[in-house]
Amino acid sequence: MSEFKRISPQQAQELRSKGAVVVDIRDPQSFANGHISGSRHLDNHSLHDFITQADLDAPLIVSCYHGNSSQGAAAYLVGQGFSEVYSLDGGFELWHATYPSETAQSSEE
């Protein structure tokens, strides 16, 4: 994949069930207040370590607030060598509305 793809929460849930990695690029407080279960908070401070430790061939789903900022982040991650990157349409807000039981609060998981 030379570019990222946009996917729905339903497609993201299917990929998650197959082991896709989910990263959340929202601010730390928003992440702490609620995020996709099992997701990792990604910001400028954690980005380098994430990239150096990640499996670049594993499917990667990028989540933000509403599905806009995640597109830029997904394009950046493709440029960093990730081969299968997805931007979550509707972001965490649509995910939470669709899968309320698949959300968590507090610290990173």
Mean pLDDT of the chain: 95
User: Whole-angstrom Cα distance, residue 87 to residue 100?
Assistant: 19
Given the residues 21, 42, 60, 64, the one annotated as active site = 64
Per-residue pLDDT averaged across 83-95, rounded?
98
Give 5-102's CATH code, choosing from 3.40.250.10, 3.40.980.10, 3.40.50.720, 3.30.70.1290: 3.40.250.10
Per-residue pLDDT averaged across 42-71, rounded?
97
Confidence of residue 106 (pLDDT cuts 50, 70, 90): confident
Pairing mode of beta strands 85-88, 5-7: parallel
Asked if 50 is an active-site residue, the reply is: no
pTM, entire model = 0.94
Q: Does position 108 have pLDDT exceeding 70, yes or no?
A: no
Measured in whole angstroms, the distance separating CA 12 from the mean position of its chain's CA atoms is 9
